[in-house]
Amino acid sequence: MTNSTSQLKAELSAELENILMYWKEFSIDEKNGGFVGQRDHWNKEVVGASKGVILNTRILWTFSAVANQKGEKFGDLRSLADRAYGYLKKAFRDDIFEGVYWELDALGKPLNKRKQIYAQAFAIYALSEYYILSGAEDAKNWAVELFELVEQHARKKEFNGYLEAFQENWSPIEDMRLSEKDKNSAKTMNTHLHVLEAYTTLYKITKSEAVKEALDNLIELFLQKFYDPKNQHFQLFFDNQWNREGNVISYGHDIEAIWLMIEAAKASGNEDLIKRTQDIAVPVAETFLKEAHVQKQGVINEKDLDSGKTDLDRHWWPHAEAMVGLEYAYQISGEEKFKDAIFDIWTFTQKHIIDHQNGEWFFRIDKNLQPYTQEDKLGMWKCPYHNSRACLILTK
C-alpha cells in the first residue's frame, strides 16, 4: 500500500517508464508507417485496423511532453515525437480543406474525412507541446492555423461556445457525435474541455491576444454554462442554445476539469479567473470523493442524476485524472483526505488497472474488478496520454 508522497513519486516514475516502454515496443508500424491502429486485450495486433487521429495526436503529445519535462531520463523520445509529427503532417493533414482527418485506413489513406473539433483540439495540443520540444516553426504555425480554423468555423457568436463537428469541407453535418455512446448534441463539455487544454498550451507558445481572448472565454463558459453549483458537477450535453440535454455526469470529466481550468487560468494570468476556478475545485473534489471514489475499489464511471442509474465500471483514465485533480484540491485546501484518496486510488490502480502480464493499463474493469476482454490495449481511444500525464504531473 502506497502511503507517502515520496513512495508515490517513486512508483509513478517507475510506471511512467513502463508506459513509455510499452509504446516504444508495441505502437510503431514498421510496415505502413506511423503507428499501428489497434492491439487487442491480449496485446495482439489487429492487422488491417484503421488509424485514428486521436491516438496519433496523443502519442505525439506524450513523447513530446515527457521529453520536455524529463529530458533524456527515459531514453530517446525525440525521434518518436518526430515520427509522430511527420506522420500526422503527411497522412492526417487535409491539404485541400485544411484541418485534420478523423480516421485513416491501415495504409494511411483517408477513411473518414469529417472535421471533429475534438480532433482539431488534440492536434493543437500536441503540436504546441512538440514545438516546445523541437522549436519547429512549421509545427507552431500549423497549430495557429488550426486555432484559426476552429475559431472561424466552430465558435458561434450568437450563443457562444463551439459546435462539435463538420463535414470534410467545414459545412454542417447532421451526426455530430464523437462516438456511438454519446448524444448527438451540438455542444459538449468533453470537446470544450479539450479545446481548453489545447488553447492553454498554445497561448504559452504564442502569447497571442486572440488565443488569450478565446481561452478566457472558454474558462467563463465552464464556470457559467457547464458547471452546476447546485450539485458540484459539470453537465455534459447541450443544444446550440445551451439547453441541457439529459442529466448524465461523468466523474472522470468532473475531476479532470477542475485542474485543467486552474491551469488555463494560470496560463492566462487572469487573477479573477484563477480565484474562481480554485474556488470550485474543492467542492467538486469533495463531491467526487462522496459519489465516485469507493475505498479500495477505485473510481466508478458515471451516473444519470435523473434516473439514478449508475455505471459501476472502472475505466482506466478516470483513475489517472482523479489523482491529479485530487492533488490540486489538496494543494488548495491542505485537507489530508484528498492525499489519502490519491494513495488509495493509486494502490487500486496498481493492483487492478495495470496489466502486469501484457503491459499498459486495462481499458476498463467491471464492478467485480474483472477486465473486459473485448476492449483494446491500444486503439482509437486507448492511448498513453491520461496515464503518462498523471505520472508527469505527480512526479514534478
pLDDT averaged per 10 residues in sequence order, the chain, 396 residues: 93 98 98 98 97 98 97 91 98 98 98 98 98 98 98 96 98 86 89 98 98 98 98 97 97 98 98 98 98 98 97 98 98 98 98 97 97 97 97 97
Q: What pLDDT shows up at residue 105?
A: 98
Question: What is the DSSP code (8-state) at residue 225?
Answer: I
Q: 20: which 3 cell numbers?
A: 513509455
Q: What pLDDT shows up at residue 175?
A: 86
Question: What is the DSSP code (8-state) at residue 372?
Answer: -
Q: What pLDDT shows up at residue 254?
A: 98
* Residue type for position 154: A
Q: What pLDDT shows up at residue 21?
A: 97
DSSP structure string for 80-149:
HHHHHHHHIIIIIB-TTT-SB-SEE-TTS-EEE--EEHHHHHHHHHHHHHHHHHH--HHHHHHHHHHHHH
Q: 317: which 3 cell numbers?
A: 483514465
Q: What pLDDT shows up at residue 315?
A: 98
Q: What pLDDT shows up at residue 178?
A: 78
Q: What pLDDT shows up at residue 176?
A: 85
- Of 142, 126, 23, the C-alpha closest to 80 is 23
Let me know: does 39 contact 380? Beta carbons within 8 Å.
no
Q: E strand or H helix at 187, and its extent? A: strand 187-188
Count CA atoms closer than 13 A to 197's CA, side-chain side.
Answer: 26
Rg from Cα positions in the chain: 20
Q: How far apart are CA 208 and CA 140, in angstroms?
A: 12
Q: What pLDDT shows up at residue 180?
A: 74
Q: How far apart are CA 236 and CA 244, in angstroms?
A: 8
Q: What pLDDT shows up at residue 51?
A: 98
Q: What pLDDT shows up at residue 152?
A: 98
- Of 390, 246, 224, the C-alpha closest to 307 is 246
Q: What pLDDT shows up at residue 86?
A: 98
- Domains with residue ranges and CATH for the chain: 5-394 (1.50.10.10)
